[in-house]
Each structure stands twice: as structure tokens, then as C-alpha cells.
Amino acid sequence: MQPVLTLLATLLLLPPVLLGQPQVQQLEQLQSMAKELIGEYEQQLLWVSAEYARAIEEQENQALEMIQTQEIRNPKTITSLYETPAFNLLLLELEGAQALTTELKSKAGASRAADLLHQLQEQVTNASLSLKLLADSDQRNFRALQQEVDVLQGQLNECEREKEQEQASRHPGPPLPPGSCAHRGLQKVGRPLVLQLNWRGISHKAGAWGRDSAPSPDSPLYWVAPLRTDGRYFDYYRLHKSYDDLVMLKNYEQWKMGYGDGSGNTVYKNFMYFNYYGTNDIAKVDLSSNTLVLQRPLPGATYNNRFSYASVPWKDLDFAGDEKGLWVLYATEESKGNLVVSRLNASTLEVEETWRTSQYKPALSGAFMACGVLYALRSLSTRQEEIFYAFDTTNGQERHLSILLDKMLETLHGINYSPSDHRLYVYNDGYLMYYDLTFLTLKHTVSRPAAKRPSGDRASPRLVKSKPSGS
Ligand SMILES: *[C@@H]1O[C@H](CO)[C@@H](O)[C@H](O)[C@H]1NC(C)=O
Ligand SMILES: *[C@@H]1O[C@H](CO)[C@@H](O)[C@H](O)[C@H]1NC(C)=O
């Protein structure tokens, strides 16, 4: 639904009567984009109905499996549909879309755009009707529907992203290859894209997820690690070998291991790194066999919730993987609670080098590494975060910046960067979501001159305000 909403929002921004030639061109572009999206959407609806029966069958299998693995899951998974936040979100989203289409229609008058909007409105109305019907008739089908919507949304996102990339490639520099650090640091963060609720349910508000942070575009490994409901113990995790498997919640391996503390874990080159429960030990688990291969203390690191992040308890040791290696972010008594960064030797877990930052760790909401640069976040409100501080380990320099991130729910738990796709994987109060990151391209990669676009050059409404300072 998201891309459709974005599209509608874009159309909404156009003044009702535009007579200038460039604007007419823009409107025509938008209309053909809308048509394409609707075509895609209809195709997906067809596909979804074909898959529907299969999804239900799968869901029944999952229900069986659920009963067999009661110790893992909360047996009370089938609650009233109206009480699940995911359902309410979906409903809200659809209602928002309905309101938006109605408003747009009143603005559009009689034109080709009005026809398109009429089609869209009907689809949106149908979708929310069937959602309500479903809620009343059969609660158990909800998960299947949600999965379908997730897939649909994922594919629409994909379609939108391709379009964006295509448009972007017409203007600025070439896209950054996977694992490349040929850039001048973070420029902006895209909108949050919500994938799904974590597999253990909404009561598992704390946790982490991501993609193996070793740069390897060919064999993606996705991992999902919701903590127990107390927000402290890390015990179960799942691995998926493709994005589609993750979206469809299938073909996964589920493992249980010795306890970890908090949501600071990460996956780097097929090993999971985490803080061993109740200690300042780093633990390293081989993901091909779920065996603990190494455990050793991190010298000086405080633990047991001594200097965790604001609103995210038990995250004393926060692991991060990037293009330059494996890192751990933590605080010591000597640093007076300020964040320190150490690069680890991934085979021996020895500290290779340590840098001290000027930021008090409990005042931050989280941090991640990209190309050897630490980026720290703080909460601005329940709906927004700011990346406000960067520390470059290649030259020891720090700087302040302001890049805003929207969030769906209040707290960002696990925050993990993947160099393969330049995405930030965030666990947001039980929901798996991600952001696309954009980096400042190098000066010498100047784009060819853009086609002349007099006066019609509006800033995209989706541009996140960013203010790279210093550097
Ligand atoms: C919406 O539902 C009506 C009635 O079931 C149907 O005739 C119509 O084709 C549907 N529209 C779309 C766009 O799916
Ligand atoms: C890690 O340490 C081992 C043993 O000291 C050494 O052989 C290896 O080169 C180190 N790895 C890296 C990436 O520095």
C-alpha cells in the first residue's frame, strides 16, 4: 500500500490547475507511473488469489507446528483479530488511503488522472472491505492475509525502488557498488519500510534482525532474533537464505543457544556475535551448526545494564559489522560511560584498536558502523530519530550532523547495517523494518548534465532533510 500512498501524496502536491508545459509533462509522467503501478498491483492481486489456497494450507501446517513447539511460542497466539496492532495498522493504512483518494478525486476534476484515481479508490475500498469481512468471518486467516499483504507491499516497494533508482541514475552519480566505501559519508536515510511482525509475536518488543554484514550480494543470509518478552534474554533465532523466504516466513532454520544479553548481537561472515548473559564476554556462534566456538571477555567493558542505551536496556555490548570489519560499541568505567569503539579480530575476538568518543552512551538511542565511521542516534520524539553524531575511526575525527529518520513505533532496538545493500535493519518494538541509506558520492563522479527542466524542478516530497556539516 505504501508506494500507492506515496504516489497519491505526490499527485496531491500538484496544484489543481497547472498550465505550464513542464508541469504538464510532469503530470503525464506521474500518470504513466500511476498506470504502471496499478498494472503491477492488479497483477499481484491475481497472483495473490492463486497463492491464497496454498497460503492457507501453509498456515494450517504452521498452526500444527505451533502446537508442537509450545515451549517456544506463546500458546495464546490466536487472540481476537481486532486486538492485534498489526491488524489495526493495516486498517489505519487502508483508511488513510481511502481518505487520500477521496480528497484527490475532488481536486482532479474530469481528466485521465481522475479515472486512475477512481480505479485506485475502488481497489483500496475493496481491500479494506475484505479485511473487515475477514476479521468478522475467520480470524485464523488473518495471518495468511497479512503475509499476502506483506508480499504485495514488498513487491510494490521493489517496483518503486527500481523506479527511484532509474530516476536517480538519470541525475546524480552512479549507484554505489555493494561493499564500496567510495563515498564521503552518509547523506540521507530513506523512509522506513515495514516488512512484518517478528515470528514470536507482538509481546517480543525487543530484539534484532538483519542481513549478514559481510559484503556478499550473491548469498544473502537474513537472521531474526527476538528477545524473550522480558527484553533481556536472547535465546532463539531464525535464519533465512533469501529475502522471499523471510517475507513468506518459510524455509527457515530455527536455533536455540546459550543465553545472550540484550539486542546488541550481529551476524558477520556466518557467525553470530553476542554478549554472553550476565558477563562482559563476547560469544561467537557458528551459524552452520549453532555451536559456540569462542567466548572471551572484552577488557574493561561494563555489563549487566550499567551503561546501556536510552530506552534500550541490556544492550551493554553492541556489535556491528561493516565494510571494514567487526566492531563492538560499549562503555567503560574509565570512559565514564562514554561510548568507546573497538575493532575486533573476528577469529580471535581480540581487540585490535580502540577509540573513545565524546558521547555519553546512555544518552544515545543507538549506533551503527558504516565504512569505519560510527553513526550515533538520539530520539527526537516518539516518531522521529536523528543521526546527530559521527566518529571516523580512519582519522579519529568527530563531527555533528543532522539526518532524520521516521519510525513507526517508539523504540529502535537492534540497529544493523548491511554493506551489501546499504540498508539499515531495525527492530522497531517487535516489527522488522529497514531503511535505505544514501551516501555522498565523490566529487569526481559528477553526473552528466541533466535534461533541461525549467521551473518545474520541485524538490521531491520524500527528501529527508540532511545537513552534512564539517567533513
Ligand atoms: C471491487 O469489488 C467489486 C464488487 O465485488 C468488483 O465488481 C470490482 O471489480 C472490484 N474492483 C476492483 C478494482 O478490484
Ligand atoms: C587475527 O589474529 C590472528 C592471530 O593473531 C592473525 O593470524 C590474523 O591475521 C588476525 N586477523 C586479522 C584480520 O588481522
Q: Is 141 exposed, middle or buried (0-12, 13-18, 19+ CB in 10 A)?
A: middle
Taking the CA of residue 45 as reference, the ligand 1 atom at the shortest distance is 14
DSSP 159-215: HHHHHHHHHHHHSSSPPPPTT---EEEEEEE---EEEEE-TT-TT---EEEEE--S-
Which of 269, 294, 348, 349 gets mutated to test ligand 2 (max ligand atoms within 8 A of its CB)? 348
* Least distant ligand from the CA of 44: 1
Q: Of the given ranges (132-141, 368-377, 388-397), which has the lowest mean pLDDT?
A: 132-141
Tell me the three cell numbers of residue 27.
503530470
Say if CB 434 and CB 222 are below 8 A apart.
no
Torsion of CA 83, 87, 92, 95, to 10 degrees: -120
Secondary structure class of 91 (helix, strand, coil): helix
Residue with more model confidence, 355 or 135? 355
Specify which of 96-100, 334-338, 447-451 reaches the highest per-range mean pLDDT. Answer: 334-338
Across residues 449-469, what is the average pLDDT? Answer: 37
Taking the CA of residue 122 as reference, the ligand 1 atom at the shortest distance is 13
CA–CA separation, 425 and 415 (whole Å): 6
Taking the CA of residue 345 as reference, the ligand 2 atom at the shortest distance is 1
Which of 126, 128, 132 gets mutated to test ligand 1 (max ligand atoms within 8 A of its CB)? 126
* Nearest residue to 216 (alpha-carbon basis) of 162, 269, 265, 267: 269
DSSP letter for 111, please. S
Nearest CA to ligand 1 atom 1: 126
Give the per-residue pLDDT at 470: 39
Neighbours of 262 (CB within 10 A): 29
CA–CA separation, 200 and 236 (whole Å): 10
Give the per-residue pLDDT at 461: 34
Which of 119, 122, 125, 131 gets mutated to test ligand 1 (max ligand atoms within 8 A of its CB)? 122
Q: Going edge to edge, which strands form the sheet with 271-275?
A: 266-268, 271-275, 281-286, 291-297
Considering the entire predicted model, what is its pTM?
0.61
Distance in Å from the first CA to the final CA of the chain: 38
CA–CA separation, 298 and 329 (whole Å): 11
Mean of all residue pLDDT scores within the chain: 79
C-beta 294 within 6 A of ligand 2: no
d(CA 126, ligand 1 centre) in Å: 6
d(CA 119, ligand 1 centre) in Å: 9
CA–CA separation, 46 and 24 (whole Å): 33
Per this entry, what is the length of the chain?
471
* Least distant ligand from the CA of 127: 1
* Nearest residue to 66 (alpha-carbon basis) of 166, 172, 196, 201: 201
Query: Does residue 387 surpass a pLDDT of 70?
Result: yes
CATH of domain 183-441: 2.115.10.20
Q: Of the given ranges (73-87, 108-122, 159-173, 361-375), which has the lowest mean pLDDT?
A: 73-87
Tell me the three cell numbers of residue 250.
518459510
Domain range summary for the chain, segments of one domain joined by +: 2-170, 183-441
CA–CA separation, 325 and 20 (whole Å): 53
pLDDT digits 0-9 by tens, 41-84: 566 556 655 555 565 566 666 655 654 554 344 434 444 555 55
Nearest CA to ligand 1 atom 6: 126
Q: Is 466 exposed, middle or buried (0-12, 13-18, 19+ CB in 10 A)?
A: middle
Across residues 442-470, what is the average pLDDT? Answer: 40
Cα dist from 177 to 31, 215, 259, whole Å = 32, 10, 37
